[in-house]
């Protein structure tokens, strides 16, 4: 019995030691991973869209064409590939620094904007990556979807796009659904704006609203006190009694923001009659073209396909790894944003089919 007891105690001690060592190793590994996570928040992923287009075409050919037609297409493809290889060899033989022989590259970025323009963080990284390689003979295409949001957030997003133009690289914005308010602030930075025929554009205006519970609090004998330093530190409030002076100052600030918005659009699209379009109205694609808010009516798919024969097209994305908690938080935040956007659409009398 003593022998068995001794063995049991030995095994228990061994297990404790192994567990302790495991915990130490786990803590060290976790600390290392945490440090690595701080250094590497995300990474750039690039996909060549030409290959995707080719695979789609090949899949359809296999079903739609008969044997003779497929053989003829295969022969034509081989001839085309040989011609492309010859062009590449010619480019390699070109003298150093001469980029005229190089094939044009088109870099495609996606911006799906919410009220806070949260996608700006990814856009910043994507543009930094593209600018490290892009030439003046290349092009950046941004597929933009946004109904607008916070002024300062969309101001920063617009500044990110301005980095491309400042480097004299052609910038094209494609709007398939909506680029309104802050979304149009971003779009107008581009050299060209392409929109689907029923995409929503414009809404060049500023809005601010809030409830006021002062009378309800007063009725319940609840005092609300607010202390500020500076005459206009707080102009209007949700719980205190708003004054005419405070309201007037608040409206003055809104008007100044609207003026800055109009100046920004005029600077980037001088062909626009800003007095006519800066009324807060929205225009569908065809009407937007008539008032020069867009340059051409074309979907992003149509434009990229038209470029695929003469350019190498790369979709660039910055991917961040998120924890389960962050994913749940983003899902809840997205649901709130969608509800607010739906309210905005209805409050602005948007047309529905």
* 3 state SS for the chain: CHHHHHHHHHHHHHHHHHHHHHHHHHHHHHHHHHHHHHHCCEEEEEEEHHHHHHHHHHHHHHHHCCHHHHHHHHHHHHHHHHHHHHHHHHHHHCCCCCCCCCCEEEEEEEEECCCCCCCHHHHHHHHHHHHCCCCCCCEEEEEEEECCCCHHHHHHHHHHHHHHHHCCCCEEEEECCEEECHHHHHHCCCCEEEECCCCEEECCCCCCCCCCCHHHHHHCCCCCCCCCCCCCCCCCCCCCCCCHHHHHHHHHHHHHHHHHHHHHHHHHCCCCCHHHHCCCCEEEHHHHHHCCCCCEECCHHHHHHHHCCCEEEEEEEEEECCCHHHHHHHHHHHHHHHHHHHHHHHHCCCCCC
Whole-number Å distance between alpha carbons of 306 and 311: 9
Residue of 36, 219, 233, 310 with catalytic role: 233
Residue of 181, 203, 298, 300 with catalytic role: 181
Residue 2 burial (10 A CB sphere; 0-12, 13-18, 19+): exposed
220 is catalytic: no
Whole-number Å distance between alpha carbons of 286 and 129: 34
> Residue 317 forms beta bridges with which residues?
45
Whole-number Å distance between alpha carbons of 192 and 93: 34
How far CA 193 is from CA of 40, 179, 276, 281, in Å, comes to 34, 10, 19, 18
Whose structure tokens read 């590259």?
105
306 is catalytic: no
- Active-site residue list: 181, 233
């Amino acid at each position: 019995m003593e022998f068995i007891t001794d063995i049991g105690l030995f095994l228990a001690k061994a297990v404790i030691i192994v567990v302790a060592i495991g915990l130490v190793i786990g803590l060290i590994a976790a600390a290392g991973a945490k440090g690595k996570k701080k250094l590497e928040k995300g990474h750039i992923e690039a996909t060549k869209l030409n290959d995707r287009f080719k695979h789609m075409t090949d899949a359809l050919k296999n079903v739609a064409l008969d044997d003779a037609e497929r053989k003829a297409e295969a022969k034509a493809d081989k001839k085309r590939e040989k011609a492309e290889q010859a062009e590449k060899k010619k480019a390699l033989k070109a003298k150093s620094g001469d980029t005229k022989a190089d094939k044009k590259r088109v870099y495609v970025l996606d911006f799906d904007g919410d009220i806070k323009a949260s996608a700006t963080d990814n856009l910043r990284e994507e543009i930094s990556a593209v600018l490290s390689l892009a030439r003046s003979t290349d092009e950046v295409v941004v597929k933009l979807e946004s109904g607008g949001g916070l002024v300062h957030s969309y101001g920063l997003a617009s500044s990110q796009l301005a980095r491309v133009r400042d480097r004299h690289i052609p910038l094209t914005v494609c709007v398939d659904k909506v680029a309104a308010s802050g979304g149009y602030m971003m779009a107008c930075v581009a050299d060209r704006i392409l929109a689907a025929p029923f995409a929503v554009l414009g809404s060049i205006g500023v809005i601010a609203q809030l409830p006021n519970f002062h009378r309800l609090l007063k009725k319940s004998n609840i005092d609300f006190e607010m202390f500020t330093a500076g005459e206009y530190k707080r102009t209007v409030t949700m719980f205190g009694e708003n004054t005419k002076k405070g309201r007037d100052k608040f409206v003055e600030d809104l008007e100044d923001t609207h003026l800055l918005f109009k100046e920004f659009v005029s600077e980037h699209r001088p062909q626009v009659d800003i007095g006519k379009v800066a009324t807060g109205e929205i225009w569908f694609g065809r009407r937007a073209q008539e008032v020069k808010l867009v340059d051409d009516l074309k979907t992003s798919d149509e434009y990229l396909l038209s470029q695929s024969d003469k350019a190498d097209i790369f979709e660039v994305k910055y991917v961040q790894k998120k924890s389960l908690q962050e994913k749940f938080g983003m899902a809840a935040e997205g649901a709130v944003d969608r509800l607010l956007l739906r309210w905005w659409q209805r409050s602005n009398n948007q047309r529905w089919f």
